[in-house]
Amino acid sequence: MQINKIEKLKQMLAENKENYKEVLENTKVEFENGKISKEERNDIINSISKTYSENCSFISEEIAQAKIEKKIKAKKDKQIQKSYLKELKKDLKAKKEFDFTGDIVMENVSYTYSKNSPFEFRALDNADLVLEKGKITCVIGTTGSGKSTMIQLTNGLLISETGRTKIGDYQIPAGIKKIPNVKKLRKEIGLVFQFPEYQLFRDTVEKDISFGPINMGGNKENAIKSVPELLKLVELPADYLTRSPFELSGGQKRRVAIAGIIAMDGNTLVLDEPTGGLDPKGEEDFMRLFKKLNKEKNKRIIMVTHNMDQVLKIADQVVVMHEGKLIDKGTPFEIFSNRQLLEKIEIEPPKLFRLMYLLKDKGIDLLGQEIRTVEEFAVAFKNRK
């Protein structure tokens, strides 16, 4: 390859820097075919490096391209972020009354823990997700897949590094320093942590449950009057009003924490492993409560769980997270019928679906049918063709 050919490639880059992919590909082919030396290859890569102010010296064409594309994407993300912030400022200036009841939409959201340290971990990686209003949505995936990080974006406990989170017509753009209307947001989107004792701090159950509405500016007398009804809703005795929440069992603390969130009367309840450590009866009680809140009070329920039997019983939709991204979404019947998907994310299906997999191997295919209970399975098995 003559020097004028190298200059020609450089000229392509000078004319339009978006030609870098073609230049890199031509350089790679010429180098692999022995038509240019390593020094000549590096000379071209260095020209690209200068164009993007990116150090790509002495690395492969693939890595050079990845580094440049990353920089281009970061620049585009920044431009998009500015447009989101401008949009939010316009709404705030107009004193817009936000509606938090619509779909929760996450657009290109990312989050990194311990950034720029040896312990850096990318929990969410340009993920997109829609959590529909009025639905029970269960979020599944292995540990580290981004489930808990994702739900903390819903009420601004965490703020994404890219994209934005929209709750109805209210938005939280990436990188925003201070979330406006945060009290209203957290009234509408109530989060119950995996360890409810983190949320309990008052000296009596009554004070703890009524704290949220009072703190949000609600009528103190009405907030306290509503506590007995809330205790009944979460199936705790009325005489627990004067007890310290720290004297209660793990399951009872969880009920008090959930009663405190329900007291806010928001439209969404977000739950991180709500039944972890409970006995089977406790699990059933909570599943019944969440279903009641959804069906009778039209609350949107978002639940992170590792218990696939619960997901099958309660979910309208299932969101599958893997390595920081949404990789699938569907009804529980669609998700659990996808054997290949479950193997990929290393999750065991519910017991009923394990049985249906065994039957399918024997030539009896019940997968894809809307089967949640043993009774429904028995009917489907009896009526099989």
Q: How far is CA 103 from CA 8, 165, 169, 204, 318, in A?
A: 52, 10, 9, 36, 15
- Write out pLDDT tens, residues 293-336: 999 889 999 999 999 999 999 999 999 999 999 999 999 999 99
**Per-residue pLDDT tens over the stretch 178-227:** 999 998 999 999 998 877 667 889 999 999 999 999 988 889 999 999 99
For residue range 104-124, list pLDDT tens digits in order: 999 999 999 988 787 889 999
Q: Is the pLDDT of residue 58 over 50?
A: no
Q: How far apart are CA 164 and CA 173, in angstroms?
A: 4
Q: pLDDT band at 37, cuts 50/70/90?
A: confident
pLDDT value at residue 175: 86
Contact 301, 137 (CB under 8 A): yes
Task: Delimit the domains of the chain by residue range.
Answer: 3-69, 104-341, 350-382
Cα 144 to Cα 382: distance, rounded to the nearest angstrom: 41
Q: Which residue has the higher pLDDT, 149 or 251?
A: 149
Percent composition of the chain: helix, strand, coil (DSSP 3-state, to 5): 50, 15, 35
Q: Are 332 and 373 in contact (CB under 8 A)?
A: no
The answer as to CATH 3.90.1170.10 being correct for domain 104-341 is no
Give helix 205-215 / helix 250-262 axis angle, nearest 10°. 30
> What would the mean pLDDT of 145-154 be, rounded to a whole number?
94
Report yes or no: 267 and 302 within 8 Å, Cβ to Cβ.
no
Rg of the chain over all Cα atoms, to the nearest angstrom: 27
Mean pLDDT, the chain, whole residue set: 87
Closest CA to 189 of 85, 274, 82, 299: 299
The pLDDT of residue 28: 77
